[in-house]
């Protein structure tokens, strides 16, 4: 029996024009099918185009040509407003730098995407507390980002990405700023979330250690992608 796909990207092209008017082809007809409830890892050296691809998969950036289908939605055909709303509900993002808001606590950082989504403050707080438990951070609810370790900050970022219960989580070098102990904790968290909450992950990284997380492994090189 074949596994179901959550996201299909087809023939994605992306080029940048440099100041000297040189055309840099970053993605060359990249196609990838993302299987539901799996961890797909895309490995590649710096400059390979991993972040560019991830941003296009998640609707943060537009391809020059090609399409991205999330379940049945062609995301780059949505208006900017609809796409922003679609992302907030369906896709969670985790970046190398946590991007938490410094003046808010861990709890409040997780509540923000819920409240943007129109959930009441009380319900948002309940949900954020659940997620703090899920990510092993219930003792840190009222800490601001500066009062958390790097590993804890990144787990709050994961909890925030999960706030609206998206099916898909896209992570760009999520362990890039972590020591090896915290990197392993984060990898275990991803595996648990996949198994327990049926989440789908796409992780792009240059870190070879993350290969062991992959149900499906890809390599990006020279703007092209190959399944390994
Ligand atoms: N806005 C931009 N304008 C011009 N070049 C860019 C821009 N964004 C990325 N690039 C170039 O595209 C290439 C791929 O970048 P990126 O997707 O960030 O690679 P990776 O994440 O694999 O390190 C790099 O050579 C980078 O310099
Ligand atoms: Mg990158």
Please determine, for residue 107, whether its predicted confidence score (pLDDT) is greater than 90: yes
Closest ligand 1 atom, residue 17 Cα: 4
pLDDT band at 18 (very low <50, low <70, confident <90, very high): confident
Whether pLDDT at 206 is above 60: yes
**Site of tokens 């819920």:** 114
CB atoms closer than 10 angstroms to residue 36: 15
CA-based nearest residue to 55, from 222, 200, 172: 172
**CATH fold of 37-63+78-227:** Rossmann fold (3.40.50)
And the tokens for 99?
A: 């991007």
2: confidence class by pLDDT, cuts 50, 70, 90: low
Mean pLDDT of 154-172: 97
Q: What is the pLDDT of residue 210?
A: 95
Among 69-73, 95-99, 172-176, 222-226, whose mean pLDDT is lowest? 95-99
Closest Cα to atom 27 of ligand 1: 47
Q: 98 falls in which pLDDT band (50, 70, 90)?
A: confident
Output the CA 52–ligand 1 centroid distance in Å: 6
Decide: 11 and 29 in contact? Cβ < 8 Å.
yes
**Among protein residues, the one whose CA lies closest to atom 3 of ligand 1:** 16
How far the first Cα of the chain sits from its last, in Å, is 21
């Amino acid at each position: 029996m074949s596994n179901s796909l959550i996201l299909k990207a087809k023939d994605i092209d992306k080029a940048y024009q440099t100041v000297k008017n040189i055309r840099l082809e970053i993605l060359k007809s990249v196609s990838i099918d993302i299987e539901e409830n799996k961890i797909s890892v895309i490995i590649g050296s710096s400059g390979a185009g991993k972040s560019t691809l991830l941003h296009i998969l998640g609707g943060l950036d537009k391809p020059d040509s090609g399409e991205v289908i999330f379940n049945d939605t062609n995301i780059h055909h949505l208006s900017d407003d609809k796409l922003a709303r679609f992302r907030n509900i369906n896709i969670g993002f985790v970046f190398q730098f946590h991007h938490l808001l410094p003046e808010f606590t861990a709890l409040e950082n997780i509540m923000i995407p819920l409240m943007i989504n129109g959930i009441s403050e009380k319900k948002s707080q309940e949900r954020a507390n659940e997620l703090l438990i899920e990510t092993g951070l219930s003792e840190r609810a009222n800490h601001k980002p500066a009062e958390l370790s790097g590993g804890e900050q990144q787990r709050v970022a994961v909890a925030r990405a999960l706030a609206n219960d998206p099916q898909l989580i896209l992570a760009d070098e999520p362990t890039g700023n972590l020591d090896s102990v915290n990197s392993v904790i984060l990898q275990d968290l991803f595996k648990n979330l996949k198994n327990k909450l049926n989440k789908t992950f796409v992780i792009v990284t240059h870190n070879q250690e993350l290969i062991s997380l992959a149900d499906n492994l890809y390599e990006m090189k020279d703007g092209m992608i190959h399944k390994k």
